[in-house]
Amino acid sequence: MNRKKKTADILFGICFVAMIFIPFLMLDIREHVDSSLENRALTEWPGLKFDKMHTEWYGHYVEDRVAFRDAAIRLNADISYCLFGEFSEKLHMPGKEGYIFPADEGYVQNYQRLNVDEQLMDDLMTYLSRSNAYIKEKGGLFVFMIAPNKSSVYGEYMPEGIYVDETRESTLDMAERKLEALLIPHVVPHEEFREIKEKEQIYNQKYDCAHWNDLGAFYGLSMVDEVIHEAYPDIPVMERGDFEESLETVQGLEFFAASREITDNVPRLSCILPSSYGVETDSRDRADVPVMVGNNMAYFYNENALSDKCVLILHDSFLDNRETWYTYRYKEVYFTSRVNYTYMKDYIDLIGPDVVIFELAERSFADDLAAYTELSTLTFE
């Protein structure tokens, strides 16, 4: 009996250790992976460097690339939903009138104005001001954009009991105030979005609740285009006629296989203008452009573009898979992650862009922006 128990204990121990280590031994180490589950590109290998920012991104890399991750997320979400009729923790939370929002603590506190970090904001402004000055010195245009959280646009649908401290300044109001004082070209479209939403659904009611939908992206990026058009009249502003529009009915949520009774109508915009650019390549094939934190730079060339200008775009998940929105209007388009911010000077020197767009999601202020430790110390000498 003792021998049987001992054997069972050993087998249990082996299984337990295997469950812990096998997923990490089977990390998905492919260079670029898009997650249909979360509608974003998964974190890429950050390279070997020992500082706070890289340490933060090593954690993101392992979390994103661990084996069986998607299956585990779906299983956990489905169990929570089937047994309790609730969304799993930190993924979603139900709001009013059927709306769904992200549930992570930082996101909620940002909506409440409880975690607005003015020092972090000032560090970012130092970086943006230096970037803007250097790009102007080189004869180019810099435009900074913040993509608002869904809660900043559809706040009236946030769950009951989540109060907002109106005595505090919001992240977006603070950013806009400081950007205007520093004369940095910018688009922070929260007020405009609150007007547009009265006529069109620019963030989905349920599906992909962490991002704007295609209509939201169109309106936000069109505002950036208008800023650019003032400086470069030959670069056309995006128009609705540039796209084929459709409405897709989505069942379930991006994390939920079991929640089939949850449906949402999602607007889709597909660019219909000619865009005869080449195959996506790593820009290092064309120029010695440094790449930071393992994120490659996508390069597109279109001889038949509507302008002969070059644009460099540093972005996060709000602009994922929107390259074709630019390739028909710019002869050269460079797309890279915002985590490559420390290489801004090198990009400008080596690429020589006419326009630089730097886009941040509002949620980054409560998420990973604090790991960008060189925001206030980076110089453009």
* pLDDT one-digit tens code per residue, 92-141: 888 999 899 998 899 999 999 999 999 999 999 999 999 999 999 999 99
- Cα–Cα separations (whole angstroms), residue 126 to 23, 129, 179: 41, 5, 10
Q: Between residues 359 and 210, which one has the greater pLDDT?
A: 359
Burial degree of 76 (CB within 10 A; 0-12, 13-18, 19+): middle
Q: Residue 280 is which amino acid?
A: E
Nearest to 200 by CA among 220, 183, 175: 220
Question: What's residue 127's pLDDT?
Answer: 98
Percent of residues, the chain, with pLDDT higher than 90 = 53
Domain boundaries defined on the chain: 76-371
Q: Residue 90 is which amino acid?
A: K
* pLDDT one-digit tens code per residue, 276-290: 444 443 444 444 554
- Cα–Cα separations (whole angstroms), residue 251 to 178, 247, 260: 42, 13, 5
Instruction: Determine contact, residues 340/127, Cβ cutoff 8 Å.
Output: no
Quick one: DSSP state of residue 147? E
* pLDDT one-digit tens code per residue, 222-238: 999 999 999 999 999 99
Q: How far apart are CA 116 and CA 127, in angstroms?
A: 18
Take residue 16 and report the two structure tokens written for it: 């337990």
As a whole number, mean pLDDT of residues 65-76 equals: 67
Instruction: Determine contact, residues 103/96, Cβ cutoff 8 Å.
Output: no
Residue 226's contacts (CB-CB under 8 Å, 6 or more residues apart) are 237
Q: Is the pLDDT of residue 255 over 60?
A: no
Global pTM value: 0.78
Q: Which among 31-40, 76-85, 181-190, 328-337 has the top mean pLDDT?
A: 181-190
Instruction: Determine contact, residues 37/254, Cβ cutoff 8 Å.
Output: yes
DSSP per position, 149-176? -HHHHSGGGSPTT----TTSPPHHHHHH
The pLDDT mean for the chain works out to 83
User: Can you say whether the dihedral through the CA atoms of 276, 243, 149, 209 is positive or negative?
Assistant: negative
